[in-house]
Each structure stands twice: as structure tokens, then as C-alpha cells.
Amino acid sequence: MTLEGKTVLIGITGGIAAYKICELIRKFQKSGAATRVVCTPNAMNFVTKLTLQNLSRNQVYVDEFDVKEWKPEHISLADESDIMVIAPATANTISKIANGIADNLLTSIACAFSKQMIFAPAMNCNMWNNSAVQDNITKLKSKGYEFLEPETGFLACGYSGKGRLCSIDKIYDSVVENLKYSKLLEGKKVVVTSGGTIEDIDPVRYISNYSSGKMGLAIARSAKKMGAETVLITTKDVEAPFKVVKVKSALQMQKALDDEFETSDIIIMAAAVADYRVKNYSNQKLKKTSEDELVLELIKNPDILQTLCSRNKGGNKIIAGFCAESENLLENAKEKISKKGCDFLIANDISRHDIGFSSEYNEVTILDKNGGMKMFEKNSKDVIAREILEYIIKK
């Protein structure tokens, strides 16, 4: 993909892997991108300003108040760039940005940067595993920042472990991917459901399922990256750079979907909604008795997917459901898409232990109402999420 007309801002921090970023700059220049480089003062201990200027064909920024124009550099560089990459990202810089500290030019730009930012960390393995550093990484991820995790191998400090900067190709590809998909859903509202609903028996016990909510969250993240106004309706505790509606039961999920339905363009039902709920909820904890059996009377929950599809009379909304099956995957999926009346149905095999519930990976087959079908082979849920949205947009 050519990056003509795009401006990539590269932040280099004080780590031994700083010298590798010279190759990353060269790749961006070759692709046609305008490349700006900002360094922390400590980065200058590992790579020279002259080298970076020659490779980027631009001024290299280090000092915070070295202002040549009327515009403050930390604002102008943020405004004029389409994406920002911090590589290598040290534990120090990651932690500063996570906590809103802006004590040098790079961290000040990061504080003002409102577009996609990618971190490629590199550090000693013990620093990477430090709980405070991991907490800060989790905090940044929850706000939509992307992390390209370090690789495991021999480190410059003499240790062997996880901490090596990931490949330059991986960083480059991630930037290209983010720029390529940034506008596909601009102007659209995408509503995604995730997680397994909880149906209370009494104040202590409930009926639920093994859904982790990871697939729905990945779809919501991808929709946001593609420029959509994104709403995630979930049973899980999630911090995200888009609207999150926390629900518990199937009835609560239905109510939340009703509230978002009219203004939505695309609805993707990735949640595992309980088919039944307890008919007679007990306000007090049920006590164990001398009986060997306890009988719970269950009643059907509303079929939320089918109800939404029946409301979509004009067909002006795209509605997609999920189908989790342990056998006869495609046969059951074809029957379900016909019965529910949705535009798309994503089928995944929950009998496999390497994908699906709680896994970071998935493999799905997407069916459409016109008989089309496409399989997406095993990959990370983030990649599968992007592929699902691309397929829906294309169709």
C-alpha cells in the first residue's frame, strides 16, 4: 500500500533498540509517507540526530521549547500527523503517558495526540514483567492504544527473556493496516454485544455460560478503528475509547439494544444470550434441604436477534448474529440464518479448545442471507474481527 499523502510521526525513546528505527524510517520514506521524528533526550545516546534527519529528510525534534514558528511544536506535530508510533517504547515513557505526565516533547505530543497511537515496547524482561508497567500497559490498551508486544530472546543487558523489540516489518505493517482501515465505517454507528448473560436464581447463584466477551470486544475495537461511532453492550467490565453499556441479563441486554436500535447502522450480536431464565427468582438465598434434588423451573428469554430482524422492516440496517455450535456447524448455521432473518451469521465451533470461548484466537465461517459463505481461518480475534467487518462492508 502506498502511503502518499500520509504523515507518520515516529517517537524514539532511550533504549538500545533505537538504532533499529532507522530501517523503519527508510521503509516509510520508500512507501511515500512524510516522516517526522521526535526523540527523547536519552534517545540521542543511541542514535544521532544527523542520521535521523538524513533518513527522514525532515527536522528531528528533541527539545520541547525549540519553537521555530508561532505554533507550539507539541500541538502542531500532533495535528499534522495521521498516526504516531513510539518505538522503542521504554517502561519509563509508557508509564508517563499512561498517567498523563508530559515532561518532554515526546510525552507532550502523546498527551495532545487524538489519533491512533502504536507502542512497540523494548526493555529488560524483568521490567516488562513488572506489575506496575503491566498495569500501565493495560490502562493504555483500554483507552484504544495499540501495543505490539516484544519478542523473546537474548537481550542487550545479557538476560534472555521477553523484551526484544518486535520486527520492523511488524511495526510497519501495523501502521499500514491502521491507515488503510481508518475510514471504512466513517459516519456509521455500529452496535456490538458481547459476553454471556447472567440469569439470577437467588442473590447468590445464577445461570450463565463460558463466553469471555473477547470476540465482541475485538469487533467493537475494529469498528472504532474504522471510524465508526461504536457502542458496546456487554456483560463484562470494559474500559474502552467508545461508549460501553454494562448489562447483566438477557432482558437488560434487550432493553439496551432497544435504546440504540433506531440510530444504529450495523448491529452485531456476538453475545451469548441465555435461552432461558429462572421463572421464580428467590429474593432470599435458597437453603439446602434434605432432598437429593432441586428443581428449577425455567422460562424462555426473548429471542433478541429474531426480534431485531423483524423490526428491520425497511432493511436499512445491517444485522449480524453469532452461532456457537458443538456439532454440525454449517447445517445448524444455515438453519439459524433462515429462521432468524438476519443479514449475516458468523458460525464458530466451540468444541475446539484452541479457539472460541476464553481463547485469544478464533476461526469462523460467515454466511449471508443470499447464500454466500466465507471461512476465515484461525487467527487472533482482532484479525478475525477486522475480516468480519471487511466482509460485511464489501457485501
- Positions marked catalytic: 157
Angle at 3 between CA 8 and CA 81, to 5 degrees: 25
Gap between the Cα atoms of 88 and 69, Å rounded: 29
Give the residues across from 299 on adjacent strands.
277
- Name 68's Cβ contacts closer than 8 Å, sequence gap at least 6: none
Q: Give me the torsion for CA of 376, 378, 382, 388, rounded to 10°.
A: 10
Coil/strand/helix, residue 21:
helix
Measured CA to CA in angstroms, residue 38 lies from 41, 107, 110, 277 at distances of: 10, 10, 11, 56
Gap between the Cα atoms of 246 and 126, Å rounded: 36
Give the residues across from 234 on adjacent strands.
194, 246
Is residue 88 reached through a cis peptide bond, with omega within 30 degrees of 0 on the bond before it?
yes
Task: Give me 170's grid cell.
Answer: 511488524
Q: What does the radius of gyration of the chain's CA atoms come to, in whole angstroms?
A: 24
What one-letter code names the amino acid at 392?
A: I
Gap between the Cα atoms of 114 and 97, Å rounded: 13
Gap between the Cα atoms of 139 and 240, Å rounded: 10
